[in-house]
Amino acid sequence: MRFFGLCPQNDDVTNLSPLTTHHSLLIIKAKKFLIYNISMILITGGAGYIGSHCVYELLKHNNDVIVFDNLSTGHKEIIDELKKYRDFKFVLGDLKNKNDIDELFKNYDIDSVIHFAGLSIVSESVKNPKIYYENNVLGSLNLFNSMIENNVKKIVFSSTCAIYGDPDYLPIDENHQKKPINPYGKTKLTVENILDDYDYSYGLKSVRLRYFNACGASTEINIGEWHNNETHLIPNILKSALTNKNTLNIFGTDYPTKDGTCIRDYVNIEDLINAHIKALDYLGKYNSTNVFNIGTGLGNSVKEIISECEKIHAQKIKYNISPKRDGDPAVLTANNNKAKDILKWVPDKMIKDTILSAYNWEKYLLLRSIKECNKT
Ligand SMILES: NC(=O)c1ccc[n+]([C@@H]2O[C@H](COP(=O)([O-])OP(=O)(O)OC[C@H]3O[C@@H](n4cnc5c(N)ncnc54)[C@H](O)[C@@H]3O)[C@@H](O)[C@H]2O)c1
């Protein structure tokens, strides 16, 4: 199977078989596609929120993917939903067990890896750093060791803006100081440092994508953000609105921002996934390590997001005001010039469309849980 990467030089779409008519149309529309031969792409964490959207995008373009996940925060139902689109191999396993990963590389002809698997709840990481270091650092180390032992040398890694800590200036660029203020951010920075050393000594090439706030859901199939312990703003606003339970909290209303609430950079999930496709393409083309901020460069305050949700819900959404949380900077926005210049990545989704997609997904989740309850 093949990976269809974006390439500026190529306008020739005549030799893009084997493709279904549907796929051909997609490719022809995008025109500037070049094929890199990638036999199989391993997606760790593909049953989770961001990973599942990436799996879908790769399947859509006829790539051969293998998903590895321990389902600690991911969902088998998401795998089943993806399989309705096209079948692929799902392996239940844990990155903390090196044997599980060794088996993968032994049994499949894996060419490159997109590494989403990780734990990512800041408060949990403060309470229990041990599980974060074991899962995110040891798990990643097991993966990288297995990769180099099996001569697999290309990886895209899900990093985070949390590695920067409190911003010295805005928008944050990739050269900003790295001084994470919680164990979660520290685990991600540690993994980035390991990747630098593994590039230098073993030639493991990585593209690290430092995401800002991922949000929204697929507009094509039934997958979306599904965290049992949800800490993200948009799903929490929508859950509160749809269940009418008034569970929404705003943490701090006296920040030095236009309306007193925190400003964050919300990046649409489909735009975010597009960055991964471009990152894979970059690795195929340049075989070189790099790092990119993935955010819109724009910021929305908590109150602005609530107001956008109210427009879609067509009702006022109630909230409670709670004290500021430790370690929440007033503003976090990305300087995304590097991703635009080098990857040619351009986020183009509007926040209202992103919220609409999240709204539709939350309604689906709610109906699903009502149906489940009625069954029991
Ligand atoms: N969601 C965001 O806004 C955001 C922002 C910055 C960075 N990130 C990073 O992106 C990645 C994906 O985030 P997400 O929101 O999709 O999270 P998620 O919890 O929905 O997905 C993570 C997936 O990894 C799996 N997993 C975790 N530990 C594993 C292990 N040891 N072995 C095998 N599988 C394991 C989980 O079961 C889950 O399916 C994470 O690494 C996260 O740190 C996310």
CATH of the domain at 175: 3.40.50.720
Examine the pLDDT at 335 and tell me if it is beyond 70: yes
- pLDDT, one tens digit per residue, over 158-170 is 999 999 999 999 9
Examine the pLDDT at 36 and tell me if it is beyond 70: no
Give the distance from CA 310 to its chain's centroid.
26
Is residue 46, in this structure, part of any structural domain at all? yes
- pLDDT, one tens digit per residue, over 267-320 is 999 999 999 999 999 999 999 999 999 999 999 999 999 999 999 999 999 999
**Residue, of 20 and 73, whose pLDDT is higher:** 73
- For residue 343, give its domain range: 38-375
Is residue 248, in this structure, part of any structural domain at all? yes
pLDDT of residue 93: 98
DSSP string, 31-47: --EEEE--S-EEEETTT
Examine the pLDDT at 20 and tell me if it is beyond 90: no
Residue 180 three-state SS: coil
Q: What domain count does the chain have?
A: 1
pLDDT of residue 132: 98
- For ligand 1, whether the C-beta of 235 sits within 6 Å is no
Examine the pLDDT at 368 and tell me if it is beyond 70: yes
Residue 211: active-site member:
no
Is residue 9, in this structure, part of any structural domain at all? no
pLDDT of residue 172: 98
Examine the pLDDT at 253 and tell me if it is beyond 60: yes
Is residue 67, in this structure, part of any structural domain at all? yes
Residue 50 Cα to ligand 1 middle (Å): 7
Is residue 2, in this structure, part of any structural domain at all? no
Examine the pLDDT at 8 and tell me if it is beyond 60: no
Residue in 42, 44, 49, 187 to alter for ligand 1 test, most ligand atoms within 8 A of Cβ: 49
Is residue 4, in this structure, part of any structural domain at all? no
Distance CA(15)–CA(86), nearest Å, equals: 23
- For ligand 1, whether the C-beta of 140 sits within 6 Å is no
Confidence of residue 38 (pLDDT cuts 50, 70, 90): low
Confidence of residue 371 (pLDDT cuts 50, 70, 90): confident
Nearest CA-CA partner of 7 in 25, 23, 26, 27: 27
pLDDT of residue 374: 87
- pTM here is 0.91
pLDDT of residue 375: 83
pLDDT of residue 222: 96
Mean pLDDT of 55-81: 97
**How distant, in Å, are the alpha carbons of 158, 306, 320 from that of 251?**
27, 13, 9
Residue 4, Ramachandran bin (φ over 0: left; ψ between -120 and 50: alpha; else beta): beta
Is residue 154, in this structure, part of any structural domain at all? yes
Question: Residues 147-181, buried b or exposed e (16+ Cβ, 10 A)?
Answer: beebebbbbbbbbbbbbbbebeebbbebebebebb
Specify the length of the chain in residues. Answer: 376
Helix (H), strand (E) counts: the chain = 13, 16
- For ligand 1, whether the C-beta of 221 sits within 6 Å is no
Is residue 298, in this structure, part of any structural domain at all? yes
Residue 49 Cα to ligand 1 middle (Å): 7
Examine the pLDDT at 21 and tell me if it is beyond 70: no
Element (H, E) at 234: helix 233-243
Mean pLDDT of 47-54: 98
Distance CA(338)–CA(87), nearest Å, equals: 36
Mean pLDDT of 123-135: 96
Residue 306 Cα to ligand 1 middle (Å): 25
Examine the pLDDT at 11 and tell me if it is beyond 70: no
pLDDT of residue 31: 34
Residue closest via CA to ligand 1's atom 13 equals 50
Residue 72 Cα to ligand 1 middle (Å): 9
Distance CA(341)–CA(253), nearest Å, equals: 36
| Pairing verdict, β 3-6 and 33-36 | antiparallel
Average pLDDT taken over every residue of the chain: 90
Confidence of residue 249 (pLDDT cuts 50, 70, 90): very high
266 and 358 Cβ atoms separated by less than 8 Å: no
- For ligand 1, whether the C-beta of 69 sits within 6 Å is yes
- For ligand 1, whether the C-beta of 158 sits within 6 Å is yes
Q: Which atom of ligand 1 is nearest to the CA of 139?
A: 31
